[in-house]
Amino acid sequence: MASDDFHVYDTTLRDGMQQEGLSPSVADKLAIARHLDGLAVGFIEGGWPGANPKDTEFFKRAQTELDLKHAQLAAFGMTRRSGVKAADDPLVAALRESGAPIVTIVAKAHPRHVDLALKTDLRENLEMWRDTVTHLVAEGRRVFVDAEHFFDGYLLDREYALECVRTAVEAGASLVALCDTNGGMLPNQIGDAVADVIATTSARVGIHCHDDSGCAVANSLAAIDAGATHVQGAANGYGERTGNANLFTVVANLQLKKGRKVVPDEALAEMTRIAHAISEVTNVVPYSKQPYVGFSAFAHKAGIHASALKADPDLYQHIDPAVVGNDMRVLVSEMAGRSNIELKGRQLGYDLSADRDAVARITERVKELESRGHSFEAADASFELLLCSELEGPQSTEFFTVETWRVIVEQTADGRHVSEATVKIHAKGERIIATGEGNGPVNALDTALRQALGQLYPDLARLELVDYKVRILEGDHGTASRTRVLIETGNGEDNWSTIGVEENIVAASWTAIVDAVTYGLLRAQR
Amino acid sequence: MASDDFHVYDTTLRDGMQQEGLSPSVADKLAIARHLDGLAVGFIEGGWPGANPKDTEFFKRAQTELDLKHAQLAAFGMTRRSGVKAADDPLVAALRESGAPIVTIVAKAHPRHVDLALKTDLRENLEMWRDTVTHLVAEGRRVFVDAEHFFDGYLLDREYALECVRTAVEAGASLVALCDTNGGMLPNQIGDAVADVIATTSARVGIHCHDDSGCAVANSLAAIDAGATHVQGAANGYGERTGNANLFTVVANLQLKKGRKVVPDEALAEMTRIAHAISEVTNVVPYSKQPYVGFSAFAHKAGIHASALKADPDLYQHIDPAVVGNDMRVLVSEMAGRSNIELKGRQLGYDLSADRDAVARITERVKELESRGHSFEAADASFELLLCSELEGPQSTEFFTVETWRVIVEQTADGRHVSEATVKIHAKGERIIATGEGNGPVNALDTALRQALGQLYPDLARLELVDYKVRILEGDHGTASRTRVLIETGNGEDNWSTIGVEENIVAASWTAIVDAVTYGLLRAQR
């Protein structure tokens, strides 16, 4: 179990799930909890038992199905209702009976919220804090309090906000987490208020931030600098509006920038994998620019950097990406020089350092293609085919040749759309004609080509078109604009990206499909 | 023109374009510059003339095609090479001759980068700073200096870093922008270093941050708190790796949280629109959780908040979203959006304030279409057709009906691509069949449709397809993904945008073409 000196408190399963579009099943929530435990967070807030059946079931199933190695489970809920004893409030009972060793009570610290949302008076609100905490502590639970809208309340009525904190401490709460619920604070405001609370109350202070001013991470750090010893956040920054503080970024900053060992190093090295695994469960496309764990977080494009990068990668990255389980990536682009090509080749497993001629040839080829609209940085597989063809000869990547293809797309009299493609190809000495249908011309062509090659290469049945992107390049005043198509293809294990650039959008798609299928065949062969 | 006291310096077109996957055309860059000028930023860094032909062309075309109302254009480039006079360096000459009134020189302030990347010594590096700045100032340019890797360099060798800054000032630079090039700093480190530079040199200090520790916005603010009076950033936080400081978030924080009027209030109210318009140009899916301007930035999941939210929305949002042109969205309420529709109608010349039923009907229709992937933000003409059809009846926008259409695209045995479309339509009591060819299926359909209508409506001959954009919209849980096509059409005087959303890319294009032609006919009729 994690040390109690400093708390990494995860609220992905409660506050994080307020994000637009997120609505995980109980099984999803259990899976996420296991991933978070793999990161060795100290606490996992599982939800609000009693408030919705899904969360009640989560806590029930957690008792038998979750075998947490590091984290303790926390149940979240509200103070008792106004005018009712905590012991008699059914929502408080649900918390008591959730089986979670920790109960986190949200309580109002902002006079106008007490008035308008709770519809009660300031004195009764304090009684609700006191009574709820006292009751749950007497029942043997460890109680944390989330002081909702604390910072806005503090700016409006400092005395009342401090009185709320003191009340929680007197009633036996282990700590009070100060919440920037609307997320609009800036770091100095947070730091000043936290320092004041610590100086004027005896509370252990925690911090809970949202990203509405783009400062959730910095705000969390400012609170910790000012003495907070408990930080709340959500995986991948999930949460309502702009999201909660990104717990991964906060943890990495604390560990790698502030020298605080808040999780074991081995757990930190799993962070990138865990971030992506959680995205798989939530079905939210990972944000490629996410600090530390994003797909692009250590991706370098500028040509001027590449030569020095080769000499010393640490000159161009703020940390060694391996410590968070991420990887440096060098992007091939029109700014590319030879060093980029060499580095990129090395990443793909081709040692080009000895063959200066090949590097020169490939660099020329890339530059020529990019000047005509190619962009290899997003098409690793097409780049690898080019590399392979230059190094091992064109026949190394030629599994078939194309005679002709044709697509017909039509809207029939009843308004239906029909797409049909026919391809004529040559492979292993045979001439093959195949026809495929699809929900669009690209899908139809892809189906037809795989149909044609299917009997010769049964592996192709596993391929799937995962993503399709189109960009029209330079389309001024009727000059022939070019169409750039990027296709992502998967085989159930890995994905790869290919590119096609042609005037004609269907022809560009065809080129990318041919590369995608060729790359699939090359992989299967190896 | 913006005041010189505080600089909002945009680097979207230079550093922002280092983002993975971004590769805009010159026309795209000009369009983005116009949007940024609409936000009234003080400076727009257009690129690196001389280093790549695209940027050279941008500066050339900017002189005749950009009519900036607020911003000044800056050309970015490096100090002269080691061992060459600035006056003789062709890259310095390209800056001098770019036509930009501002030249921003990037210079190294980190000893190890001088050694490994520049491969020169510390004294010569200072000479490169001095000579390049002196030369460009003597040539009448205003010179800013970006001190690359400043903060890492400062921590390694404070004296040398300060010497670099002093050298730039002595040589006549207007300011030195301190760069956290690797993006790994935290706010207190930035604040301390900036305060030290200001205290020990006479430099005007700027700040340039990246988001690798998730603190780019807070770091920029920390520098400004410490005395920096020039802030660099990129639209939507575009940039290499995790991105540059998000200029929109920084500007909104300065204006709304720090009480600094860095752009006119009217410009700030355009920020959300501009952020989305730039996404359309770059074809990068907007990040819905982006502070201030994101689609979800003021979206509330209903629940405990609902009644209090109705009583006083300000209790649950850190600012009034209207001041940045955004809108509160309550995810279960039917109230959202009406004011938008009314406002948009007014912009197009329709006063809807008296007709509440029509507003409700149109809001419903827009919501339904947007839930299926439409985005009227970038398709004013399609929105106006919808408005017109709801207010004046469907016949007001129905100039023809479509029976069927068909496109054939093929690659012939000699490798040529042929696209041919046939449309069957009814107009003015006639049934018309026409066939058109094109360099792709969309062009062929457009040609065929205008061919069919040409005799009845000769005005159509002037129409031209100016731009075509495609985005594939994520399908939910196995449902087929949809394709969104945006088409821009011109008649030689004005351009208008239309949209089509269908599973089939050709069908989506057809819908957008039909709207484009219909709108052209509607205009001609008026």
In a domain, B195, yes or no: yes
Greater confidence (A135 vs A54) lies with A135
Chain A residues within an 8 Å CB radius of B333: none
Same domain, yes or no: B316 and B271: no
Same domain, yes or no: B141 and B205: yes
* A143 — pLDDT class (breaks 50, 70, 90): very high
Longest dimension (CA), chain A: 89
Same domain, yes or no: B307 and B276: no
Q: How far is A239 from chain B (nearest CA, A)?
A: 9
* A441 — pLDDT class (breaks 50, 70, 90): very high
Q: Which of A253, A282, A311 is a domain's end point? A: A282
* A325 — pLDDT class (breaks 50, 70, 90): very high
In a domain, A424, yes or no: yes
CB contact under 8 A, A307 and B117: yes
Helix (H, G, I), strand (E, B) or coil at A436: strand
**Distances from the Cα of B122 to the Cα of A190, A521, B145, B219, B369, angstroms:** 42, 53, 17, 28, 61
Q: Quick one: pLDDT at residue B331?
A: 56
To the nearest 10°, report the CA torsion of A184, A187, A188, A191: 110
Q: Quick one: pLDDT at residue B336?
A: 42
Same domain, yes or no: B447 and B499: yes
In a domain, B370, yes or no: no
A189, A409, A426, best to mutate vs chain B, most B CBs in 10 Å: A409
Instruction: Tell which phi-psi region holds residue A474, choosing left (phi > 0), alpha (psi between -120 and 50) or beta.
Output: left
Nearest to B468 among A318, A439, A472 (CB): A472
- Mean pLDDT value across chain A: 90
Count of domains for chain B: 3
Contact B167, B129 (CB under 8 A): yes
Q: pLDDT tens for residues B239-298?
A: 999 999 999 999 999 999 999 999 999 999 999 999 999 998 888 878 989 999 998 999
Same domain, yes or no: A158 and A273: yes
> Quick one: closest CA in B to A218, which residue?
B215
What is the arithmetic mean of pLDDT over B14-21?
A: 91
Q: Quick one: pLDDT at residue B335?
A: 38
CB contacts < 8 Å between A and B, how many? 303
Same domain, yes or no: A470 and A356: no
Contact A20, B371 (CB under 8 A): no
In a domain, B107, yes or no: yes
In a domain, B453, yes or no: yes
In a domain, A11, yes or no: yes
Q: How far is A444 from chain B (nearest CA, A)?
A: 11
Same domain, yes or no: B329 and B413: no
In a domain, A504, yes or no: yes
ipTM for the complex shown: 0.77
The parent domain of residue A457 ranges over 401-525
d(CA A141, CA A379): 54
Strands B417-427 and B401-411: antiparallel
CB contact under 8 A, B410 and A407: yes
Q: pLDDT tens for residues A54-97?
A: 899 999 999 999 999 999 999 999 999 999 999 999 999 999 99
A238, A470, A497, best to mutate vs chain B, most B CBs in 10 Å: A470
In a domain, B373, yes or no: no
Q: How far is B307 from chain A (nearest CA, A)?
A: 7
Q: Per mean pLDDT, which range of A2-16, A460-474, B244-258 is the poorest?
A: A460-474
Which CATH number fits the domain that encloses residue A409? 3.30.160.270
* A477 — pLDDT class (breaks 50, 70, 90): very low
What is the arithmetic mean of pLDDT over A256-270?
A: 96
Q: Quick one: pLDDT at residue A306?
A: 63
Q: pLDDT tens for residues B408-438?
A: 999 999 999 999 999 999 999 999 999 999 9
Whether A508 shows a pLDDT value over 60: the answer reads yes
Q: What percent of chain A has pLDDT over 70?
A: 95
CB contact under 8 A, B404 and A417: no
Q: Quick one: pLDDT at residue A1?
A: 65
What is the arithmetic mean of pLDDT over B89-102?
A: 96
Other beta carbons within 10 angstroms of residue B289's beta carbon come to 22
Most confident of A460-474, B108-122, B485-499: B108-122
Same domain, yes or no: A42 and A134: yes
* A230 — pLDDT class (breaks 50, 70, 90): very high
Q: What is the pTM assigned to this prediction?
A: 0.76
* A340 — pLDDT class (breaks 50, 70, 90): confident
Q: pLDDT tens for residues A181-228?
A: 999 999 999 999 999 999 999 999 999 999 999 999 999 999 999 999
Helix (H, G, I), strand (E, B) or coil at A402: strand
What is the arithmetic mean of pLDDT over B30-59?
A: 94
Q: Quick one: pLDDT at residue B332?
A: 45
Distance of CA A162 to the CA centre of its chain: 36
Q: pLDDT tens for residues B99-151?
A: 999 999 999 999 999 998 889 999 999 999 999 999 999 999 999 999 999 99
Residue B195 has which token pair? 């305060």
Q: Per mean pLDDT, which range of A207-221, A236-250, A296-310, B4-18 is the poorest?
A: A296-310
Same domain, yes or no: A340 and A417: no
Q: Quick one: pLDDT at residue B477?
A: 36
Q: Which of A327, A352, A371 is a domain's end point? A: A371
Same domain, yes or no: A55 and A182: yes
Strands A495-502 and A482-490: antiparallel
Whether A33 shows a pLDDT value over 60: the answer reads yes
Whether A165 shows a pLDDT value over 70: the answer reads yes
Q: Which of A249, A282, A315 is a domain's end point? A: A282
Same domain, yes or no: B146 and B188: yes
Whether B183 shows a pLDDT value over 90: the answer reads yes
Q: pLDDT tens for residues A348-387?
A: 788 888 888 888 888 888 877 876 777 776 788 999 999 8
Which CATH number fits the domain that encloses residue A225? 3.20.20.70
Same domain, yes or no: A238 and A307: no
